[in-house]
């Protein structure tokens, strides 16, 4: 039986107060240290259950564990991307090949942004900009929880967490102001890096 390393919570790529005033130190501390850690713990526990069930041949709890891998694994991966997609030196607009592709696939940057903001307003979990390797194009996706509404095979390159724990402390029910604040700290360099990975792998 192969050995799997336990998932670990990655450190934030900046200080907890680095995104203020757009996202508070308190929210980042709670969100990263408690919420994201919870998904890491849930993924690790589910993986342990699956390994035990494989060894024993008793799969009575396998169905639930598989669901926990999907939920917690998606939560872990998307949160990791979310942290990387922000920077105290972020904001502005994408440049180069990423901007050209956004303009090609959505008509203009403003058209893409308006659609992404609509996805963020509608989603019950995440707004994602993904690369669809089947259609070979960028798409916006509104995802409920961490995985409901996801597109098979697509690779997220920009992730915005719109669960209430992301913004209620700072903005109350005003999700729109939080979405605006996110665009003040978007790290377009990491988005471009993820896009390049897609080009290297799929095109």
Which tokens hold the place of 59? 């799969």
Which tokens hold the place of 182? 């996110």
Is 201 labelled a binding residue? no
**Separation CA 88–CA 72 (nearest Å):** 28
Is 161 labelled a binding residue? yes
**Separation CA 31–CA 12 (nearest Å):** 11
Is 79 labelled a binding residue? yes
Is 15 labelled a binding residue? no
- Is 61 exposed, middle or buried, given 0-12, 13-18 or 19+ CB atoms closer than 10 A? middle
At which residue do the structure tokens 């095979």 appear? 153
| Binding positions | 31, 79, 161, 165
Residues forming the annotated binding site for Mn(2+)?
A: 31, 79, 161, 165
């Amino acid at each position: 039986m192969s050995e799997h390393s336990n998932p670990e919570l990655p450190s934030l790529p900046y200080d907890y107060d680095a995104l203020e005033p757009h996202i508070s130190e308190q929210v980042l501390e709670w969100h990263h240290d408690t919420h994201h850690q919870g998904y890491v713990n849930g993924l690790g526990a589910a993986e342990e259950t699956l390994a035990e069930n494989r060894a024993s041949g008793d799969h009575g709890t396998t169905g639930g564990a598989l669901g926990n891998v999907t939920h917690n694994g998606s939560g872990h991966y998307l949160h990791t991307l979310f942290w990387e997609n922000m920077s105290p030196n972020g904001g502005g607009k994408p440049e180069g090949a990423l901007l050209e592709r956004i303009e090609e696939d959505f008509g203009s940057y403003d058209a893409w942004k308006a659609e992404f903001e609509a996805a963020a307003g509608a989603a019950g979990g995440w707004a994602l900009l993904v690369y669809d390797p089947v259609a070979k194009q960028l798409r916006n996706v509104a995802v409920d929880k961490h995985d409901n509404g996801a597109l098979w095979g697509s690779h997220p390159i920009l992730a915005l967490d719109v669960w209430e724990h992301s913004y209620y402390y700072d903005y109350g029910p005003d999700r729109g102001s939080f979405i605006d604040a996110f665009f003040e700290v978007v790290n377009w360099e990491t988005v471009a890096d993820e896009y390049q990975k897609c080009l290297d792998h799929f095109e």
